[in-house]
Chain A
Amino acid sequence: MSYKIRGLKKEYKGFKLYIDELSLYKGEIFCLLGPSGAGKTTLLRLLNFLEKPDEGEVLYGNKKYTSQNYLPPLEAMRQITTVFQRPALLKDTVWNNIIYPLKIRKEIIDKEKVMGVVEELGLTNLIKQRSETLSGGEAQRVALARALIFKPQVLLLDEPTANLDPGNIKIIEEMVLKYTFQEKPTVVWITHNHFQAKRVGHRICLMDKGCIVEARDKDTFFRSPKHQKTKEFLSGEMFF
């Protein structure tokens, strides 16, 4: 499912997000880079329709949403999901956590299909374990399995690999790449790590102070950035 954003505005105390124009396409991984407080998470929440904008419009699928009607029907909402930086799991077994989205959609649980995702994320031995006993990396893999189990058309990733070890990062990156290749969802991936953006992204976008600084295809973004702020960000100067 694609998005077309125009004049999107969201204001909090001391913070303003303004996206003049942005398109997100089916089958691409769109990486959002930027310093803390740049507005990346706010944009993600708006894309998940968990937050209402003050102004502007979002064309999602074939329907236009504005601040007046920023609540798509449940079926449309259920095509979108977010994996957050800190995995929040139910105090239950790994299996019950993974099938939760299927249960709330009253879908038939195909054990083989579920086990397929479980195996790919290396969770087979943990399936009966309770979520409270998992390590950070294991919990995040469960969160990703839970997000992919119902085959979302929009996958929003809010720094899902921050603070994870390289082994877990690799598993998560490979799984998202494979899912994107097979199911052609729209993926928006927030990361602080531009090496990761280089590895997984098709298009890269730099945000700062609530606005988009530059959004280009990966090669152009990294090889010949146009904006001074992008150059500073890539050289690490923007952090200091």
Chain B
Amino acid sequence: MEGLAESLKLLFTFDPYVYDIIGLSLRITGVALFFATIIGVPLGTLLGLTNFKGKPVVTALLYTGMGFPPVVIGLFVFLLYSAVGPLGHLGWLFSTRAIITAQTIISFPMVAGFTMAAVMSVDKNLMKQLKALGATGLQASWAAIKEARVGVLVSIIAGFGAIISEVGAVMLVGGNIEGKTRVLTTAIVLETRQGNFGVAIAFGIILLTITFIANLSMIYLQKRHMFE
């Protein structure tokens, strides 16, 4: 109870330590989500609308990516950016860039997979009709994304939900450095270990609120889609 009271005090007094971490978490996740969207939405659309020889393999890889343990992706990014790794010269390990890389890799299969499902549900006759009206492949694909916009939006929200609450990969590649790479999840781990339960609970409340809002909007959009 003491911890809860302290956490509420920290939140309502706008404690700078707490709010800096919230801001950094949202910034990092936002950038990662942006990259996941610009990779995932076109990839999902391509897979949803076209048939090519290697499509089953690419789709299987995508589904594997959706269920891949984030900590293993963290390990992969760690090795990539470590001093002896192929991109070690960039010096990105233990920086926000490393976290963004890991979060992008974690979330883009999710964005692509859900986008693919959404785009595949667009009326096949409409795609035929758009081509018959003179739409180029790109124009028809854009129309398909617009038709499946609710599903595509849900895919982006699902990607957001997956990375905002991620801890293993972020800890591994970010290093949990105060003021630099400390985000909500890694801060919870640290504060709990140090016995600062009030701060940890405050972060927990924020994280829960953010994921709750994300899930609520996803449910709302899906419901709206059902009645469209």
Query: Measuring CB to CB, which residues of chain A are less than 8 angstroms from any residue of chain B?
Result: 48, 50, 74, 77-78, 80-82, 84, 86, 88-91, 100-101, 104-105, 132, 143, 146-147, 150, 156
Contact = CB atoms under 8 A, between A and B. Distances in A.
Contacts of A101: 133-134
Contact of A78 (B134, B143, B147, B228): B134
B126 interface: yes
Nearest to B133: A101
A28 B199 CA distance: 80
A90 B133 contact: no
Contact of B125 (A88, A104, A132, A156): A88
B147 A50 contact: no
Contact of B129 (A78, A88, A91, A150): A88
Query: What's the dominant secondary structure at chain A's contact region?
Result: mixed
Contact of B131 (A50, A86, A146): A50
A99 to B, nearest CB: 11
Interface in B104-128: 123, 125-126, 128
B147 A81 contact: no
A91 B136 contact: no
Given A50-B132, A146-B133, A89 B139 contact: no
A82 B128 CA distance: 9
Contact of B126 (A88, A105, A147): A88
B5 interface: no
Interface in B132-170: 132-136, 139, 143, 146-147
Query: What's the dominant secondary structure at chain B's contact region?
Result: helix
Nearest to A87: B129
Nearest to B123: A88
Contacts of A147: 133
A104 B129 contact: no
Contacts of A89: 126
B129 to A, nearest CB: 4
Contacts of A86: 125
A104 B133 contact: yes
A89 B122 CA distance: 11
B126 A90 contact: yes
Contacts of A48: 132
A91 B147 contact: yes
Contacts of A50: 128, 131-132
Given A84-B125, A86-B125, A104 B228 contact: no
8 nearest A-B residue pairs (beta carbon)? A78-B134, A88-B126, A82-B132, A88-B125, A88-B129, A101-B133, A104-B139, A104-B135
Contacts of A132: 228
Contacts of B134: 74, 77-78, 81, 101, 104-105, 150
A226 B139 CA distance: 47
Contacts of B125: 84, 86, 88
12 contacts: A50-B132, A78-B134, A80-B132, A82-B132, A88-B128, A88-B129, A90-B143, A90-B147, A91-B228, A100-B133, A132-B228, A150-B134
Nearest to B148: A91
Contacts of A90: 126, 143, 146-147
B129 A84 contact: yes
A101 B139 CA distance: 11
Given A90-B143, A90-B147, A104-B139, A81 B133 contact: yes
A105 B135 CA distance: 8
A81 B134 CA distance: 7
Given A48-B132, A84-B129, A90-B143, 9 more contacts: A78-B134, A80-B132, A88-B125, A90-B146, A91-B147, A100-B133, A101-B133, A104-B133, A104-B136
